Amino acid sequence: MWAAAAGVTGIALLATACSGNSDTPSDEGSDGGTENITLTLGTFNEPGYTDEMFAAYEAENPGVTIENKKAATSNEARDNLNTRLASGSGASDVEMIEIDWLPELMQFPEKFEDLADPALDGRWKDWKVAQATTPDGKLLGYGTDIGPEAIAFRGDLLAAAGLPSTREEVAAELGGADATWDDYFAFGKRYTDATGKPFFDAAGAIYQGMINQVENAYEENDGTIIAATNPEVKDIYDAVTKASVTDNLSAHLGQWSDDWTASFQTDGFATMLAPGWMLGVIEGNSAGITGWDIADVFPGGAGNWGGSFMTVPSQGKNVEAAKKFAAWLTAPEQQLQAYKNKGTFPSQVEALASDELLGSTNAFFNDAPAGQILANRAEGIIAPFKGPNYFAINDAMQSALTEVDVNGGDAAAQWDTFVSAVNALG
């Protein structure tokens, strides 16, 4: 549970005043782009970048070779980066950072290059830029994707249960623009009562969708921790554990576990929350499976789950070349290609207004007009405040939910464990 907090503490205790050298091969003077260099890129999950894209960049920049170091999960990538920042060496030239653990690294701006560039002003949604900007105006990351949320569902499983099963029917059944979480859970109870099968994949996933709609869930804007006393947090925890365990709507799986991955091949559940980046994950895990679709609806209104940034650690030898590469990766053209490849929905203003995006369909999801659906779902997003303690608090909550949903623990006891963990933060 406290690996999250320990990782950041390690940075603070072990970091030295002068940065160490990257282990990336490099020649003297390579920042100018005149020598052969290898630029390493640290990513995780399915960000949508391909070898073909890297080859195109290499062709446009003779002498540059791209090496993608891809972690399986966001948590693995975070642990790797924390270790390398603490030791002063070994970080990739460009590191992808997820929004939930960016705030803790914002406490150490000296570890990263300032990416502010007047030529790129206006490229991203304002709230996306604000998430990566320090109080004194240093821009630590270029935005990649955002995570507007819709509902992904197995139309074949819903139809077999005699329930609404097209994207229009599911959206209407959940209440359309007025959809609530109560509507979602009520639909789930109908499905589970009719089939005896799970409605959604994991309590932790449902909680994440709900908590991301709370503007100040865990901390006030001044950093005051309120997670243990905020009634909205407790209400969401109670609603999720009731739906998951009491009503048995959950498949009782931990997201990203081997069992969770395998469940896509065994009709393991009928619906799941689907930020844009999750579409690639679902498709990747569901090879040979038909029936997936996307409904233009989300309980509680707009919601954003996830979204990442490209940063340039200052310890590298190729920081100028890395800045150029990070800017290229997050240009509208590359983000549209990443969206086409894996569904990672762009944060770039130009990309969001493009006919290429708005007219796009997703063949795997029954030819759903995914671009328009996710653009609709992005309307009205209010980015919740995430301070330096967000990751540690949310990790403690996810641990509690896993204990209840997956391992059969007592919900009241696990809430008390969460409260103790939060109080230990001070």
102-139 per-position pLDDT tens digit: 999 999 999 999 999 999 999 999 999 999 999 999 99
Predicted structure pTM score = 0.85
Output phi, psi for 83, to 5 deg. -60, -45
Residue 251 has pLDDT above 80, yes or no: yes
Given this model, what pLDDT does residue 11 score? 39
Given this model, what pLDDT does residue 6 score? 37
Residue 19 has pLDDT above 80, yes or no: no
CATH number at 147-305+373-424: 3.40.190.10
CATH number at 37-146+306-359: 3.40.190.10
Structure tokens at 92: 């990739």
Region(s) of the chain under CATH 3.40.190.10: 37-146+306-359, 147-305+373-424
Residue 32 has pLDDT above 90, yes or no: no
DSSP state of 219: B
362 forms beta bridges with 368
Find out whether 32 and 323 touch, Cβ atoms under 8 Å. Answer: no
Sign of CA dihedral 344, 348, 349, 355: negative
User: Mean pLDDT throughout 382-394?
Assistant: 93
Which of the four pLDDT bands, split at 50, 70 and 90, describes residue 23?
very low
Instruction: Give Cα separations from 188 to 32, 60, 196, 322, 370 (angstroms).
Output: 58, 51, 11, 47, 23
Find out whether 65 and 51 touch, Cβ atoms under 8 Å. Answer: no
Tell me how far the alpha carbon of residue 173 is from its chain's centroid: 27
Given this model, what pLDDT does residue 35 score? 77
